[in-house]
Amino acid sequence: MIDVTAFADRRRSVLAQMHARGGGVAVLATAVEQMRNRDSDHPYRHDSYFYYLTGFTEPQALLVLVAAPDGAARSVLFCRAKDEAREIWDGFRHGPDAACAAYGFDAAFAIDALDAQLPELLADQPALYLPLAADTEVDAPLRRALDVLKRRVRSGVRAPATHHDLLPLLDEMRLIKDATEIHTMCHAGRIAAAGHLRAMQACRPGLREYHLEAELLHAFRSRGAQAPAYNAIVAAGANACVLHHRAGDAELRDGELCLIDAGCELDSYASDITRTFPVNGRFSGPQRAIHDLVWAAQRAAIDATRPGVPFNAPHDAAVQVLTRGLIDLKLLDGSVDGAIESGAYKQFYMHRTGHWLGLDVHDAGDYLDPTAAAGEPGRPARALQPGMVITVEPGLYLRPAPNVPAEFAHIGVRIEDDALVTAHGCELLSADVPSAATDIEALMREAACSRSLPSPTTA
């Protein structure tokens, strides 16, 4: 049974913020079902904002929060009506009465009653909160409801006079994870780590990228994760230099590296881990040099992940280490400061070192200081706080170029972990899978020995 306390607390927090601004009504719909092809839908995944406030995962649902100017507050759910005939085909649906009781709403109605109920909920409210600049299923019903209210103006009924973007309120809330969210994300990190371990242990020359993807999916689902958090990147050889390469049919070749960027989704929360390892279990000299450099950069970035520092501090720490290493390897010329200032390092490292993580892989939240004016030039990065979760993922991608020696060409390495900011530093939620080259080689050597031993039934 779902613990609805956290969701109810979040709704109360939003209502309190709306009351502090003079009151109003917030309207938020869940995601729309998407058809895949004839008579088949894509697997349904609810909207993250909607889930954050409701815990409700069924499609065709909408939340209305009423913060009346007199201080009264209500949370109202609209959802699919109970329909036992449809449940034979599509599975269980709560219906309004059961949903209201199970999830702690003040009232619930069938979604078919939206046109009748929404004008009454909006009437005489001073403001309307909704996701602005977002094309949602609620747009048409809202327009119809506002039209109804405008036609009733002569009878003294008023439509909301102002419209506000609801999402910034939720973004700030979602940035700081509560104890339940942290527990779930820790579990998701362990499951994802188990998938990476399984893929490393299964890896050997002659397999295909999709074989390792299958190992990941097996580990995720067999341990209770509902789905991958995103399309898995399994990149063999030169494919590791393609940042968003999808697992395909490329062969895992002796002497090459394999980069896996994959995470699972557990109870709507994402994990996000990347490891790079040698297909045959042994790094070559150039591969080891690049991997050790990325690993050192990640250690520096992790050390810089602590409360009070700007969000970009881990990135700056990683760039310093990577740039110094690239110069030492003679892949870049000049000084560290010069290569950073000119952006020369971006030939090999063209992305940031991290992002927010939570209900979405790239989770909600402003990366800049919310206390500074939105249009202020040079707006500083926001400070990290306990309860935030970020990824730490430096990498190097050495495509063939005149300044890239042949022995380094096509080497792509990324190492990524999920870091929970704590009171004194950070805790890695994905530490169960090794990241240092020596530990990776030991793991793969042990797996290869296990494969070569006769089974107990044939010994």
Q: Give, in degrees to the nearest 5, the angle at Cα 447 between 438 and 430.
A: 60
Quickly list H helices, 304-353: 313-328, 336-342
Quickly list H helices, 94-178: 95-103, 114-122, 139-151, 167-175
Cα–Cα distance for residue pair 149/157, rounded to 1 Å: 7
Region of residue 79 (left: phi > 0; alpha: psi -120 to 50; beta: else): beta
Tokens of 369: 């200081």
DSSP code at position 246: P
Q: At what angle do helices 285-303 and 313-328 cross, to 10 degrees?
A: 150
Tokens of 341: 């200032």
Q: What's at 328, amino acid-wise?
A: D
Cα first-last separation, the chain? 48
What does the DSSP assignment read for 169-236?
A: HHHHHHHS--HHHHHHHHHHHHHHHHHHHHHHHH--TT-BHHHHHHHHHHHHHHTT--EESS--EEEE
Tokens of 205: 């020359």
**Active-site annotation, residues:** 39, 244, 261, 272, 351, 355, 362, 393, 397, 414, 416
Cα–Cα distance for residue pair 377/8, rounded to 1 Å: 38
Answer yes or no: are the C-beta atoms of 67 and 19 closer than 8 Å: yes
Please report where in the chains the tokens 């109605």 appear, as a residue: 109
Closest by alpha carbon to 277, among 443, 449, 451, 452? 443
